[in-house]
Structure 1
Amino acid sequence: MPAKKKASFEEDLAQLEQTVARLEQGEMELDESLAAYAQAAKLLASCYSTLQKAQEKIEEVALGEDTNGL
């Protein structure tokens, strides 16, 4: 069985937005709400991690360009 492809940042963010919207509607049973909340927390952590990595890369590039320009 092939490995599951990791979702992109955009896919995770879209899923997070959908999950939050469902939670905000308040129409789910408690167990379903708890499961959705847990899923949203995982998606949020994934998005945050991706943004942190992107920020680190940007800083590396900026520092690299600064040192090359001297």
Structure 2
Amino acid sequence: MNISYYDFKNLPDQQSQCNMVMTNGRVMNERTVNTLKYVLYEISCFTVEIVYNTFTNKIEGMTVFQNKAAYAV
């Protein structure tokens, strides 16, 4: 699925964004620090980092990064 950074940021809520990433994203990297697991996904032309709390099995946060290199001339 191809979705723009803008359309992704305008999804109705964080749960919709997380579902999109987990369904269509490609895991690029992951690391665990104590009870937090940081997973970096690539989706379309941007990346998303989701932070999972492995102790509570909940999402602690999400950061969306616009890949500037995709627009370089």
Q: TM-score interval w.r.t. the shorter chain?
A: under 0.3
More helix by share: 1
Q: What is the TM-score when the length of structure 2 is the normalising length?
A: 0.27
More strand by share: 2
Q: What is the TM-score when the length of structure 1 is the normalising length?
A: 0.28
